[in-house]
Structure 1
Amino acid sequence: MLEALPQGRPPRFVGPYRLLARLGAGGMGEVHLACRADAPTADPHRMVAVKTVREDLEVDEDFRTRFRREIAAARTVDGPGVARLVDAGPDAPSPWLATEYVPGPSLAEAVVRTGPLPVGAVRALGAALARALAAVHGVKVLHRDLKPANVLLGAAGPKLIDFGIAQAFEATALTSTGLVVGSPGFMSPEHLVGSRAVVPASDVFCLGAVLAFAASGRGPFHDDEMAAVIYRISRAETELDGVPGELRPVLERCLRLDPGERPPAAELAALLDGRDGEDGRDGEDGRDGEGGGGAPGAFPWPGGVLSLVAECREAARAVGEAAASGAGVADLPTLGPVVPYSPTAVT
């Protein structure tokens, strides 16, 4: 959800964009909702998400070199399941990038606030994300940090964010030395070996963990002790008791220890679409009808998720209207709670 910017400060600009509200923050940077300063808008679909490096951090040339390389890779990726890169400023005093804004909650927030998704929605979610991964892998790019917080749920379907670029922002030093990069609870065994061991099948493993979370509200490697989580991932010891039985066979394939035994992303999309008997499909299209989108072509989100999508869209519209009218962004109220999220389970 959106957070108001600190009060008492003038409007802030990054490149050609005016920041409207804060979307989130990480170890090295922040993400803001923004629009072009020369074209104020209240249309969320014309807004962008601007990610900036923290101003108090020193940025060396190694960072900029890696950042440019990740930007170049991101520009090759396009498709309905990926939030596209719109603009970037690698040579700015504080490097930044702007991606398509998706008016909707993250999968993490949606599950925390509304509970696990019904089977039909999980199938549709997984198939869409698998197709997005297939497109990413097709241009020789890996996501490397696929987790519920990096999946945004828009009205038309889910979108992946932070592929590749996340490394430049959050782990330049780590990836350059081959150390672990990933999110506990959603890493693959190859992540534990080091960055250079990660392959396309690693993203499929992570997607299996994400779908298990979506279906049950609990990561498949959840444990109260982080060391135990890492140990279980290293041996691919999954806990899928909370996952509906019709989804387990395909998720078990994704979560196998040997990367060669996992389905490629395109095959996984077919399995989840219901074009293979192994996944226990319920009908001709492999969906059980529990999702909320009954109209042809509508994405089958349940009602709770659709409400969150509408909430995000209206919050973005409100800050856009305020900025276009000349209101000070710092005077805007906080428009929604920031939901705390455990990387391994809903608590």
Structure 2
Amino acid sequence: MIGPYRVVARLGSGGMGEVFLGASPSRRLVAVKVIRSELLDDPRWRERFRREVTSARSVSGFYTAPVVDADPDAPQPWLATQYIRGVSLSAVVQENGPLQEQTACRLGAGLAEALIAIHGVGIVHRDLKPSNVLLASDGPRVIDFGIARPLDALPLSRTEILGTPAYMSPEQALGDPVHPESDVFSLGSTLVYAATGAAPFGGGRKVRGRIVYGEPDLALLPAPMLGLVTRCLEKDPGERPTPEQILVALSTLLDAHYGEEWPPMDVEQLIDVRERTLVELTAEQPTLREPHQEGVQGPI
């Protein structure tokens, strides 16, 4: 048990914690994140987890996985969020290949709305990337506020660079202070991955240097998205569009050229597979088991 939730399966892990599929006494499904045991004695990690809980609670559940319950002061702090019927963007691209142009535009518009909501409550996410984006039945959601920070909060470390290198902004890669414009850069990188199957600056140990000094590879990006994404990936934060401008541009593109289908059939099929897996898991004995499929939702 974690708090009042019966552990059904281990969903995954990240740098800060582990995530489990849990069931409430009435059998409602939740994703429960716990801080890693080796970090419990470090007050900075406890404070970071407390900030995560506060940040996740601040943002509308229409754009994120809503917080159901949390105890950041427990001997092993935990956070429970509502289970969202969906699958991560990274899992979709790995299994089905890049998204179609229409779907990528709809995704970008949804992420722009999410950033408007996140920034509107004074928070910078700092880790927007494909594995932290869910393609849910009712639209995309942004999850994992593990390194999110209120704009007026002091950094917990002066030297540590947090985030996922391939999706960092140049200022984040340099260890400089980050502002909402940093999330816009990460949105652009995430859209490139969604539409082409690869991050715009590649990966590996030198990716941070390419982000700071190099040019993105946008050769496979659909032409209607090229101008907007290029602006999102400007080195100078002041040259990037706002989430509101991104939303207007992509909504105009959707209205002019595309229908309203969401989610696409192949994504819906992946979601159905995840649903069947969860039904099987919750029907088993209440012992910890590994999930049968990867990419199940969890706020890692």
TM-score by length of 2: 0.89
The answer to whether the 8 Å contact 1:319/1:329 transfers is no
Structure 1 position 318 matched with structure 2 position 255? no
Question: Partners in 1 of 2:51 and 2:295 — Cα distance?
Answer: 32
The corresponding residue for 1:345 is none
Question: Partners in 2 of 1:58 and 1:82 — Cα distance?
Answer: 26
Listed as ranges, the gaps of 5+ residues in structure 1 are 1-12, 169-173, 275-280, 294-298, 340-347
Q: Give the SS at the match of 1:176.
A: coil
Shift of 1:317: 2.3
- CA separation of 1:48 and 1:243: change in aligned 2, threshold 3 A: same
Equivalent AA in structure 2 for residue 246 of structure 1: P
Listed as ranges, the gaps of 5+ residues in structure 2 are 150-154
Shift of 1:103: 2.5
Structure 1 position 226 matched with structure 2 position 192? no
Matches within 5 A, 1:45-124: 46-124=28-106
Equivalent AA in structure 2 for residue 311 of structure 1: V
Q: Give the SS at the match of 2:249.
A: helix
Equivalent AA in structure 1 for residue 276 of structure 2: E
The corresponding residue for 2:3 is 15
Q: Number of matched residues?
A: 291
Q: Give the SS at the match of 1:197.
A: coil
Structure 1 position 30 matched with structure 2 position 49? no
**1:263 aligned residue (204, 228, 241):** 241
Equivalent AA in structure 1 for residue 281 of structure 2: V
Equivalent AA in structure 2 for residue 182 of structure 1: G
Question: Partners in 2 of 1:247 and 1:74 — Cα distance?
Answer: 30
Matches within 5 A, 1:302-317: 302-317=264-279
Q: Give the SS at the match of 2:167.
A: coil
**1:183 aligned residue (164, 170, 178):** 164
Shift of 1:269: 1.0
The answer to whether the 8 Å contact 1:151/1:158 transfers is yes
Structure 1 position 155 matched with structure 2 position 123? no
Percent identity over the alignment is 43
The corresponding residue for 2:258 is 288
**1:235 aligned residue (213, 220, 228):** 213
Shift of 1:121: 0.4
- CA separation of 1:259 and 1:271: change in aligned 2, threshold 3 A: same
- CA separation of 1:186 and 1:335: change in aligned 2, threshold 3 A: same
Question: Partners in 2 of 1:140 and 1:123 — Cα distance?
Answer: 26
**1:198 aligned residue (175, 178, 190):** 178
Shift of 1:141: 0.5
- Higher Cα radius of gyration: 1
Shift of 1:197: 1.4
TM-score by length of 1: 0.78
The answer to whether the 8 Å contact 1:107/1:153 transfers is yes
